[in-house]
Amino acid sequence: LDAQIQNLKDKQDAFKSLSQNATNEELKAKAQDIKQAWKSAKEAATQIIHQLSSNKLVKASEKLEALAQKLTAVSAKLKEKGIDTANLDARIEELKTQVEAAKNASANAIDKKSLNQAKKDLKNAVEKAKEAVKELKTANKGKVQVGNETD
């Protein structure tokens, strides 16, 4: 991006250095050079923004993936206590499926459309996580300690 910006500045300086006697063709050519340099810099900046957004979405997906693993461990503890966890396990599997979709979409997001799809998938994964936690609270009812709290 820095190289793109420097190129744009160089093109602007070249335009400014044209003498008063420059022809219209020369002015148009230099203006076109500036326009192309600006377009190139804009595209580079847009790609960097998309990559940063994609990385943020991947990290959020990884956090949801960790939550799914924790919920799976808690479900196993509940099973050991003889508690029916069928609904909880179903919610956890839905969460894992949605997290995987969000993670894949985030990692492959290269433009605005794919970033929006990744955001949508991540939002759906968050909803599945909320449903799984709610189901955990229903199944648990204070029987197994989760983290630092008991529900």
pLDDT at 51: 85
Q: Which residues lie below 8 Å from residue 12, measured CB to CB, with a gap of 6+?
A: 34
AA identity, residue 89? D
Q: Determine the Cα–Cα distance for residues 46 and 13; give it in Å rounded to an integer.
A: 25
pLDDT at 126: 92
Which has the closest alpha carbon to 90: 128, 124, 123, 126? Answer: 128
Q: pTM for this one? A: 0.68
Q: Which helix (H) or strand (E) holds 71?
A: helix 24-80
Which has the closest alpha carbon to 91: 120, 67, 56? Answer: 67
Do residues 55 and 29 make contact, with C-beta atoms less than 8 angstroms apart? no
AA identity, residue 95? L
pLDDT at 144: 53
pLDDT at 68: 93
pLDDT at 151: 40
* Mean pLDDT per 10-residue section of the chain, whose length is 151 residues: 78 75 82 86 86 87 92 90 88 92 84 87 91 86 54 40
Query: Three-state DSSP class for 145?
Result: strand
Q: Which residues lie below 8 Å from residue 55, measured CB to CB, with a gap of 6+?
A: none
pLDDT at 145: 54
pLDDT at 143: 57
